[in-house]
Amino acid sequence: MVRTVQGRDASFSDAGGAGAGEETVDIIHALVREGFRVMAHIGYTPQGGERSRVGGSADAAADLFALARRVRAAGAESLVLEKVDELVHRALADHSDAIPTFAIFSGKSSRGGQSVNVWDAVFRPGFKARYFPPTAEFDTKEFPAAYTEDQIARKMEVLLKLVALGEFPLSPPSALRLEDAAWLAGLNPWAEGCGHLPGRG
């Protein structure tokens, strides 16, 4: 965490990350009040224990939208969306009311950014993974010998080019039903009371 200074870094490199659940919204507010910049992390969080992609139903999407609004109201300046359904990611990131949004394993959007991981760019995961960076070529047992400045620079150069060309990340299939996707298309998820799919409560 770093305190707010005059001439903030527009890249958010001076922002501290906060995994955001309902219980952490008050913490975000307190940090902002003390002058910290906060980038809220919603969707899958390592400490949350979720396994499946987040936002795969209208109700789950509405809950995620409500949390995004709450962390914005608490003072978060930007969002990281991890393992979120791509259509839900797009709804949040591409709306004109959105705060800056960065995706991890959540597909692509027109206006949002991508958070790319240096370790994942170099080392293969220990399982069959379709959506990890294609640049990884080393097993983790080759750490630290393979984790050099030169390797990191080469892998990140290739990975960032793939992102710029729209070739990475891949788009995971959406779990949303057709009527849910149509509901999302006409929704402003940043508007208070945007609600759930009609007939779902």
* Token pair belonging to 133: 């960076």
Q: Catalytic annotation on 23?
A: no
CA 197, 200, 201: angle at the middle one, nearest 5? 100
* Of residues 144, 146, 147, 117, the one with CA closest to residue 133: 117
Other Cβ atoms closer than 10 A to 30: 13
Which of 22, 23, 50, 82 is an active site residue?
A: 82
Active site positions, annotated: 82
